[in-house]
Amino acid sequence: MSNDLYQQRLMSAAEAAALIPSGARVAMGLGFSQPPALLAALADRARAGQVDDVRLYYLLSTGIAGQTVLADELMGRIRPMSLFHSALERGLEAQARAAGRPNPVTFIPTGFQQVPRLMREAGVDTLVCTVSPMDADGFFSFGINTDYNRPVSDHAGRIILEVNPAMPRVFGDCTVHVSRVAAVVENQAPLPELPVAPPAPNDIAIGGLIADMIDDGSTLQMGIGALPNAVCAALGGRRDLGLHTEMLTPGLVQLMQDGVITNARKTLHPGKGVFSFCMGTRATYDFLDGNRDMEAHPVDYVNDPAVIARNDRMVSVNATLQVDLTGACCSEHLNGRQFTASGGQLDFVRGAYASAGGRSIIACHSTAAKGTVSRVVARLDGPVTVPRNDVHIVVTEHGRAELKGKSDAERARALVAIADPRFREALERSAREAGLLD
């Protein structure tokens, strides 16, 4: 029966894209689950004037979207509704400014946990993403991207899937049945990979400081980039760590392969590593494929602070762009413009601190722009991503500042002490002028 349904829904990418009408509200898969054949066909329809006013809701576009539906000449017919900017959105905005045109990209501020509800309330009616091949019971696995794909599949009336054998089959709450699907497109193509950035000396120093705060039996959440990978590299001597993270990275996979992360002492999903999406290398995807020690769950579950807090000794590690002298962090704005978004940072800051024995750690280099700009500042240049009330521990290569329970004056002194020495005098003067210090 499942095979019959599959054959009934199997069609070309052009036929599947033709099911998307003008005015549709489309959820496009995050990151590497963006379906290349489907998106190319949708872009062709828009370019030919066959579809208009398609609102595209998504986080973290990649080159897959940039080469298809996010091409500059399609703006207007396709309307990007970005919930997390990448270089593509920043480029589209810059092109529009240079040409004196209105900004073609709509940015919607939101926490990652809230995205499934936001898409439902926005009237998203279509889901397009890449999945693994169907199993014998008629289920497709969302593979490396359960995040909002799985919740949207519950309410979207039009589910269009691109089946790719390169997508790993993952276990957990991460499947959709063929009976819910409007169209299936087959396309065999390598999944994109995220290269592992080599750590800078500052990353290694910060990684060592953070690793010293992670005890045996802790459960980890790590963000993206060289700095979290440096933390992973410094954890080789730990035992029985656990995993509960929105993003699964190669550094975390290496800790599992080395026997450092065993999930044996977890208080939630014991024995299982839990994640919501993954961006890594082919080796990362091969590790996930058919691995029953790993579970993918929707982001409104994984990133729910109340769920996060059920992991005892939860440790979250995330990066920021700026921290002010009271501890508030801006992690998404740069040079006066939206750079990325808040993602799940605040979700894990709150969830980890609420955990029994948990720690929430915000990390950053002490300077930017080749040492000419301090990341510890008197006043943030952009929106507050993590309020000062929520920040627990801030770490730079110069040390750590524990802020919970501290007064404004104590916070200012602690943060000045971990700033780059070249900026400390000016920061202390700013703190006095602001009335933070006597």
Which residues are the active-site residues? 246
- The token duo for 438 is 């006597």
What is the SS3 assignment for 210? helix
What angle is formed at CA 371 by the lines to CA 370 and CA 374, rounded to 5 degrees? 125
Q: In terms of Cα–Cα distance, which of 243, 204, 196, 198 is closest to 222?
A: 243
C-alpha–C-alpha distance, residues 430 and 377, integer Å: 9
What is the DSSP secondary structure assignment for residue 145, as one 8-state letter? B
Apex 314 CA angle, 310 and 318, nearest 5: 125
> In this structure, are strands 329-330 and 322-324 parallel, antiparallel, or unpaired?
antiparallel
> Which tokens is 302 given?
């994984």
Q: Report d(CA 31, CA 71) in Å as an integer.
A: 16
CA-CA-CA-CA torsion sign (272, 274, 66, 14): positive
What is the longest distance spanned by two Cα atoms in the chain?
A: 77
Q: What is the DSSP letter of 112?
A: G
Distances (CA, A) of 210 to 183, 364, 381, 399: 47, 11, 26, 10
